[in-house]
């Protein structure tokens, strides 16, 4: 009787662990796919990634030698030449909640102002598509500081 109970317990524990193992495998595969996409984009632009970070289903990176910023979200790469950039800033758009005086964040963008008056942006968060906010402003501010350090280094 005791050995049957132990076997049933082990089988139930194994069945409970399977979803976690599958989820972990899928996340690892998605992360590797993002890294591969980033490396492909960098190679096509004769760049080498010196620093990168994966956040949700996007990846952001910088090539400190060639001064390029990369952002890939939904398999759509955006590349910004930091040599032609005057500064980088965060743009947070808010919209009001119905029947309330409060507002919610609708989008978070990392924006680049360039000497040619062009503006580029990395859409880090869109409340219509992305899951609820979970650190996007901290993530954005960290990368804005990284990009601005490189921009100031160029200007010096």
Residue 130 above 90 pLDDT? no
Q: Are 141 and 111 in contact (CB under 8 A)?
A: no
Q: b vs e for 21-58, b when ≥16 Cβ sit within 10 Å of the residue's Cβ?
A: eeeeeeeeeeeeebbebbeebbeeeebebeebeebebb
In whole angstroms, give the CA distance from residue 31 to residue 77.
16
Structure tokens at 45: 């632009």
Residue 1 above 60 pLDDT? no
Task: Write out pLDDT tens, residues 61-107.
Answer: 999 999 999 999 988 999 999 998 989 999 999 888 888 788 888 89
The predicted pLDDT at position 11 comes to: 83
Q: What is the pTM of this model?
A: 0.82
């Amino acid at each position: 009787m005791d050995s049957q109970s132990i076997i049933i317990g082990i089988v139930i524990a194994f069945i409970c662990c399977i979803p976690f193992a599958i989820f972990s495998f899928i996340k690892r595969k998605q992360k590797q796919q993002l890294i591969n996409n980033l490396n492909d984009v960098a190679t096509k632009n004769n760049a080498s990634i010196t620093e990168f970070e994966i956040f949700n289903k996007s990846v952001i990176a910088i090539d400190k030698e060639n001064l390029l910023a990369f952002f890939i979200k939904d398999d759509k790469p955006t590349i910004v030449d930091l040599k032609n950039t005057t500064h980088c800033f965060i743009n947070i758009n808010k919209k009001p909640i119905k029947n309330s005086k409060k507002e919610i964040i609708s989008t978070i963008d990392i924006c680049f102002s360039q000497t040619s008056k062009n503006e580029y942006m990395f859409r880090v968060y869109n409340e219509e598509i992305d899951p609820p906010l979970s650190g996007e402003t901290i993530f954005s501010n960290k990368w804005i500081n990284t990009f601005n350090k490189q921009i100031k280094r160029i200007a010096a």
